Structure 1
Amino acid sequence: MIKITRENVLIRNGREIVPQDADYSTWVKNNLGKSFQANEARKGTISYNILKAHQHSDQDELLRLKFDSITSHDITYVGIIQTARASGMKKFPLPYVLTNCHNSLCAVGGTINEDDHKFALSAAQKYGGIYVPPNLAVIHSYNREMMTKCGNMILGSDSHTRYGALGTMAVGEGGGELAKQLLEQTYDVESPEIIAIYLKGKPNPGVGPQDVALSIIKAVYNNNFVKNKVMEFIGEGVSSLPVEYRNGIDVMTTEAACWSSIWETDDKVKEYYEIHGRAADYKTLKPEELALYDGLVEVDLSKIKPSIALPFHPSNVYTIEELKNNPKDIFALVEKESKKVFESNDVAIDLMSKIVNGNIHVDQGVIVGCSGGTFDNIVAAADILRGKSTGNGTFSMSVYAGSQPTYMELVKNGTVADLMAAGAVMKPAFCGPCFGAGDTPANNELSIRHATRNFPNRDGSKPNEGQTSMVALMDARSIAATAANGGVLTGADEVAVEYSPKKYYFDQSIYEKKVYDSKGHADDSVDLVFGPNIKDWPKMPALTDHMMIKVVTHITDPVTTTDELIPSGETSSYRSNPIRLSEFTLSRKDPNYVPNAKEVHEYEIYREEGKNPEEKFDELRSAYEAIRKIKGFEALSPEEMGIGSTLYANKPGDGSAREQAASCQRVLGAWANIATEYATKRYRSNLLNWGIIPFLIEDGNLINKDDFIFIPHIKEAISQESDRIKAYVLGESLKEITFSLGHLTHEEREILISGSLINYNKKMNSSR
């Protein structure tokens, strides 16, 4: 079904995979009559040519990119604009789409989200942006419909920013990277490896894009095969897939941990652009005659079956058939794993109770958002449910179209009527079910969703309060089949149905009537509209010569998600208030993090006031005494050494691009993270942009919770690009350890030394 090749792979014309046992030089000479040059063949990928067109450096190893447009939603855009304003921005220098699809609910958690929306509209008017009102479109639907262009690049503050199926390389990043684009700075990244995703065959009836996506994620996530790389989709199987089917696969590549994605384009993509009134934005993209890739994933679409990703990750995939044949053993594995996930025997999930008379009963079905709420998916679900009933028991089903134009066409062609007649509830464009702010399951409910994620501490789970829910990812077709069976888990390949795909007609007038598009015109006379919950970023201290950090949290999970670092859901209402939001940091993973971090932050505040913290805080005296036993630091003055908190996690940062996963730590006085590796480039970028040093350590067992760690000459080490940094764990006996930083650009080093991206830009502006 899926085969992985970990070596370089040469592909001819995007179709012929040169045998691995062939000598490429000899093969090219014999078949093409010319010499083979690996460096030139690497330039034959679709990805290389798009990246080259956006490169603003003469280096091959380091990309300095400028994007064609950027986009963010109402959980992230206030912080981005506030950062850019504080850094000197006067207008948006490129198209900036501000959507309202995450905090669309009027009031959650005691604040009025509409205040943020008014801020965004005033910002679009003042700085020259594009404002999409609430419930009109989810962020990625709007960008697909209106902003993509073959060969372009889009940067978004949502991790699922993926438009590769439409010929646009898109990257999901933290807000700091968007602020850099607004300041006309570059996005800097080491040149990524390119992995060919070679599709062949054709999916069987009942197999949808989520089934294909989950199968690929299962094959590549846990082995890091595509981590921080580009997934380039090629092969004869591409042509068998409708464009919306491709979009559904493409948006889920984020869960494979790749950096970006791109697909070859064809007449179906051309038709998509024509339907959307943008025929001029299409061009054919395909690999050149010879393209050398850094690896290969071969996917036989004809062998993929309806699948389910069980809690608590999209890579925890089984076929539905496999699960139904062996539910007790598989559920037992998930329940056992949940003990590790929640690090508590008091937190329990009960999947076994979902097995009744040999059948698996689920409580809820949801088709939603950028992955599930596409036109084709909803039409297919209606085909399955037409004339049937979802039942009047505990099972419920909700369907969210990704955009209002999609919704209107589904109304016109009768799809909505069929779904409503079956008992499904139609809802407006909203991303809430993907992160726990809509259709939140009840305690111990099992929800099946065509959505993007099923992480722990997401979708409404609050394990430290005894509230847990279980979310499994499935394709819209199998969700509809399950709904038609009254909530009994059913694969779409088990039902007899005649699919009747409908032609899509795009009505742009909805956007013309409701979207504010400045066409790039900024009006400085407009005042920004601030609600009472919109606050400026607090002051961030610059890096000192030496540093002492305290490990206030030590997490041993294999992976720590951004949802655990800063929970989603009800906390969304405080996204525009850095101080209020920081109170939720790690609240579902370590409720003691905030008070412990605040205690350390008090030490630093006292020092910044010019006082000697050693004189006031008993805990610090022994730490200072230990430092003064180190040669050269016998007379260390507290003024020379900043004090901050840190957390240790094996692999932090999987999941959302939300910068608040880092900024909230910084607000509470964090100066570093320590990890054996970072789950995503975007989380590491968030740390850097907030002045948090992303230390790497080979063995996490060398440090423990509550350890004080002294890092001498840290400012000098960062400035002089030291690869290995000596540090000391302070205790009754000193323990010397070594940190590393990985690759840092000159600008990233300067940001760390300045204390944050805001500080760096203020310093740059003053020097001008």
Structure 2
Amino acid sequence: MVELVENGVYLLRGKLIIEDADQLGVDKVNDMLRREDLQPIAEAEITKEVARNNTITSRIMEAHNTSKDKRNLKLKFDALASHDITFVGIIQTAIASGLNEFPVPYVLTNCHNSLCAVGGTINEDDHAFGLSAAKKYGGIYVPAHLAVIHQYMRETMAGCGKMILGSDSHTRYGALGTMAIGEGGPELVKQLLNHTYNAPRPEVVGIYLEGQPVNGVGPQDVALAIIRAVFKDGFVKNKVMEFVGPGVNNLSVDFRNGIDVMTTETTCLSSIWQTDEKVAEYFAIHRRGKDYSKLEPGAVCYYDSMVKVDLNRIVPMIALPFHPRNVYSISELNRNAVDILREVEIEGKRQLENPNVNFNLTDKLVNGRLMVDQGIVVGCSGGTFENLTAVAKIVDGKSIGNGDFSLSAYPASQPVFAELMRNGSIEKMISAGTIIKTSFCGPCFGAGDTPANNALSIRHATRNFPNREGSKPGNGQIASVALMDARSIAATAIHGGLLTPATEIDYEETPVSYKFDKQSYDNRVYQGFGEAKAEDKLKYGPGIANWPEIRPLPENLLIKLASVIHDPVTTTDELIPSGETSSYRSNPFKLAEFTLSRKDPEYVGRAKAVQQLEIERQKRVKNGELHGLIDTFRAIFSGDQLNAEELLELIKNTGLGSVIYAAKPGDGSAREQAASCQKVLGGDANIAIEYATKRYRSNVINWGMIPFTMNREEVNKLKVDDYIFIPNIRLSIVNGTDRIKAYVLNEQGKTDLELKLENLSKDDRDIILAGCLINYYAEN
């Protein structure tokens, strides 16, 4: 079904694969080329570097790279995209850093805070701010309920050979020939200020597709099969997934989009697909034929590794709580439900670490089969035209019943909604008992269709992290999500919630024609790019607050461990929750109150305590009243027997802050708030064994926190409420030192600790020295 090839691979004319290329050597590879009569494609012998430059990825990145150094890229993007829980903070950061006008098309969609009153604030204030910013700075504004961010970008902004940067982790338009990257807000700020996205040249992994999916298998099934295969060992982490092979042509563009958007869950950097006449037809349907061009790998192409996917062998899949990697085939689950669900319960309870909730799945077994409570088809992954026409066909003339099970469908855009009405699909779904809702991302992050206590929801959506569906563990309420394809969700629906793969029902999926009607966009989307109105005023609601002032990095750091998390992976949802906090995203102070609330509710109090001590220190330094802190510092440095003069010198030059340790933080969303909330509370660093994603590490750096790593064997030295003293940290950053001498201070005395600072660019170091990206741009 899915096979991993760890070594380098040559792809010849898109089909013939030479594996173990690194072991074979260039001479043998060239001999094979001659035997295959492929040598005439190049005048000289093929080298690995020449073949590496023949990937689609290399060509697109080279066209957008402003650096002469091909190994360290400085990229400029063709367009930017944000939604309404990120664009307010991004624009405010850019304004504080000197924004005058949006230099590239910047799309502001309103698909996350669409409900307008989640959590107690009025989110329409954020929407009003967004429209006023689009007018003032020359942006594109998409009102609420009109389209989810990624569907709008597919329909109107993607183009072959383009690059798009978005402040949402699922920014993926590779199936349309667009390399798209999801990052934290500060990376978009850099683009808005005409700076670049800096990254080492990524490795490229060929995703070689062959065969054709059987009836009843959808894009989510293929995506989950790939995620299961590659996630555990970070096979594609921070790399680009390049989809090639004869199987690509056997997939519709909607099907490709559905696979592509889920590549985010592999922790890859980006994705790109070869294009063909089906992609050309897609652009023609959307009245953008000029945005199509044929993209394919060169005749001899080198990939750093490869994933082979036999589409014929993919079966309906399910990702059980609490991660998209926790994948089984539905038939396997139905055969071994008791054993599998017990394992999931054990791991889930360990992950939740909450004695107040009773996470249980085995109680949902009926005669050995899993009975689910809710089905949702939604958003950029689920709410596409073909997925919903498939649902309509499966439920046509049937009923989902009047029991516990419910089914909701969210078309991804108004044009998709309109076409589903025209072809009768909406009527079929409604007649069967499906609730049809407008374009909204809420169920993907916990702000819509929140299940009842102990309910299990099956969703064609993007993620199923703990509590992401909106449950409230602090109140003793728990629910969970399993990810599935829309087709099997529909098959389950017509069986009243009894888990059923779509391959086991009598249904034949046939192509359905699509007509794109953009009238709703013409009438409602504000198109302001290139027409900035500098004299216009921004509209601020009472829930919108500016970023606090942030000090630069001091000479020395004294950081208190405010949380220590030993989980194998810590998601951004655990660092800052999603659904219940969405309405506070425009107020950094209120939002920060939720930091680690699901994982370590005591964190905020601990961080604030040391932050107040730093505020007092800065005040006393300014007023020349250092003696008032001698006793505090003497207690912290009790093992050093420092005299008063030495303590006064420390007080003057040593900043206090908080730090969290997590083994592997940052899996999941690109939201910058996972880092900025720590900074608002006085955070100065993260310590990790490794960072789950580049985007989270970038967020840490852009908010002026130091992304330390350490050796696993030293982790037992770290305890909550201990201090870590890092002398001469500013000088170490200036000098590019990658091994940092530090000391753990506690009641037992002083313990040596080595921290690592690897792969920091000059810009990264300058941002950390300045205290954050805002300060960095203000200084420059």
Q: Which of 730, 737, 749 does residue 715 from structure 1 map onto?
A: 730
TM-superposition CA deviations, 1:614-655 (whole Å, max 9, x none): 73596643223345669x967733010000000000000100
TM-superposition CA deviations, 1:488-538 (whole Å, max 9, x none): 110000100132431010011110100000132100111000000111100
1:257 maps to 267
Matched, 1:528 2:538: yes
Are the equivalent residues in 2 in contact too, given 1:687–1:693 (CA < 8 A)? yes
Matched, 1:669 2:682: yes
Instruction: Please say which of residues 603-612 and 434-443 is displaced more in the overlay.
Output: 603-612
| 2: CA distance, partners of 1:633 / 1:617 | 10
1:499 maps to 509
Matched, 1:759 2:764: no
Are the equivalent residues in 2 in contact too, given 1:29–1:35 (CA < 8 A)? no
TM-superposition CA deviations, 1:188-210 (whole Å, max 9, x none): 11110000000000000000000
2:11 maps to 11
| 2: CA distance, partners of 1:608 / 1:519 | 44
Q: CA deviation at 1:460?
A: 1.2
TM-superposition CA deviations, 1:147-205 (whole Å, max 9, x none): 00100000000000000000000000000000000000100111100000000000000
Q: Which of 377, 382, 386 does residue 372 from structure 1 map onto?
A: 382
| 2: CA distance, partners of 1:618 / 1:297 | 60
Are the equivalent residues in 1 in contact too, given 2:209–2:244 (CA < 8 A)? yes
| 1: CA distance, partners of 2:346 / 2:229 | 22
Matched, 1:490 2:527: no
Letter matched to residue 659 of structure 1 = E
2:249 maps to 239
Are the equivalent residues in 2 in contact too, given 1:627–1:730 (CA < 8 A)? no
| 2: CA distance, partners of 1:492 / 1:748 | 49
1:409 maps to 419
Q: CA deviation at 1:89?
A: 0.5
Letter matched to residue 752 of structure 1 = I
TM-superposition CA deviations, 1:70-129 (whole Å, max 9, x none): 000000000000000000001101100000000001211111000000000000000000
Are the equivalent residues in 2 in contact too, given 1:613–1:620 (CA < 8 A)? no
Are the equivalent residues in 2 in contact too, given 1:380–1:501 (CA < 8 A)? no
2:744 maps to 729
| 2: CA distance, partners of 1:51 / 1:626 | 53
Matched, 1:400 2:410: yes
SS in 1 for 2:749: coil
| 2: CA distance, partners of 1:256 / 1:214 | 10
Give the alignment of 1:70-109 within 5 angstroms: 70-109=80-119
| 2: CA distance, partners of 1:94 / 1:677 | 34
The 1:249–1:636 alpha-carbon spacing in structure 2 relative to 1, beyond 3 Å, is: same
Q: CA deviation at 1:466?
A: 1.3
1:589 maps to 599
| 2: CA distance, partners of 1:625 / 1:575 | 41
| 2: CA distance, partners of 1:499 / 1:715 | 62
2:718 maps to 703
| 2: CA distance, partners of 1:431 / 1:2 | 30
| 2: CA distance, partners of 1:604 / 1:19 | 57
Q: CA deviation at 1:689?
A: 0.6
Q: CA deviation at 1:584?
A: 0.6
1:742 maps to 758
Instruction: Please say which of residues 353-362 and 653-662 is displaced more in the overlay.
Output: 353-362
1:28 maps to 33
Are the equivalent residues in 2 in contact too, given 1:549–1:709 (CA < 8 A)? yes
The 1:627–1:746 alpha-carbon spacing in structure 2 relative to 1, beyond 3 Å, is: farther
| 1: CA distance, partners of 2:593 / 2:626 | 24
Matched, 1:126 2:136: yes
1:652 maps to 665
SS in 1 for 2:675: helix
| 1: CA distance, partners of 2:657 / 2:616 | 12
Matched, 1:142 2:152: yes
Are the equivalent residues in 2 in contact too, given 1:574–1:580 (CA < 8 A)? yes
Letter matched to residue 28 of structure 1 = L
Give the alignment of 1:61-76 within 5 angstroms: 61-76=71-86
Structure 1, unpaired ranges of 5+: none
The 1:264–1:618 alpha-carbon spacing in structure 2 relative to 1, beyond 3 Å, is: same
Matched, 1:467 2:477: yes
1:480 maps to 490
Q: Which of 286, 291, 295 does residue 305 from structure 2 map onto?
A: 295
SS in 1 for 2:634: helix
The 1:627–1:539 alpha-carbon spacing in structure 2 relative to 1, beyond 3 Å, is: farther
Matched, 1:546 2:556: yes
SS in 2 for 1:236: coil
| 2: CA distance, partners of 1:618 / 1:413 | 77
Identity rate, percent: 56
Q: Which of 338, 359, 371 does residue 369 from structure 2 map onto?
A: 359
SS in 1 for 2:73: strand
Q: CA deviation at 1:554?
A: 0.4
Letter matched to residue 758 of structure 2 = G
SS in 2 for 1:636: helix
Letter matched to residue 26 of structure 1 = D
| 1: CA distance, partners of 2:377 / 2:640 | 57
Q: CA deviation at 1:140?
A: 0.1
1:214 maps to 224
Matched, 1:182 2:192: yes
| 2: CA distance, partners of 1:485 / 1:637 | 69
| 2: CA distance, partners of 1:513 / 1:553 | 50
1:111 maps to 121
| 1: CA distance, partners of 2:630 / 2:600 | 24
Are the equivalent residues in 2 in contact too, given 1:173–1:682 (CA < 8 A)? yes
Q: CA deviation at 1:745?
A: 1.3
Letter matched to residue 770 of structure 2 = S
TM-superposition CA deviations, 1:332-371 (whole Å, max 9, x none): 0011001220124443211011002222110000000000
Give the alignment of 1:602-641 within 5 angstroms: 602-611=612-621, 615=628, 620-626=633-639, 636-641=649-654
Q: TM-score, normalised by structure 1?
A: 0.98
Are the equivalent residues in 2 in contact too, given 1:551–1:706 (CA < 8 A)? yes
| 2: CA distance, partners of 1:7 / 1:613 | 60
Instruction: Please say which of residues 492-501 and 563-572 is displaced more in the overlay.
Output: 492-501
| 2: CA distance, partners of 1:53 / 1:596 | 48
Q: CA deviation at 1:35?
A: 1.4
Q: CA deviation at 1:329?
A: 0.3
SS in 2 for 1:673: strand
Letter matched to residue 701 of structure 1 = N
| 1: CA distance, partners of 2:251 / 2:405 | 32
The 1:546–1:205 alpha-carbon spacing in structure 2 relative to 1, beyond 3 Å, is: same
Q: Which of 626, 641, 656 does residue 643 from structure 1 map onto?
A: 656
RMSD of equivalent CA atoms: 1.5
Are the equivalent residues in 2 in contact too, given 1:724–1:741 (CA < 8 A)? yes
SS in 1 for 2:80: strand
| 2: CA distance, partners of 1:587 / 1:369 | 27
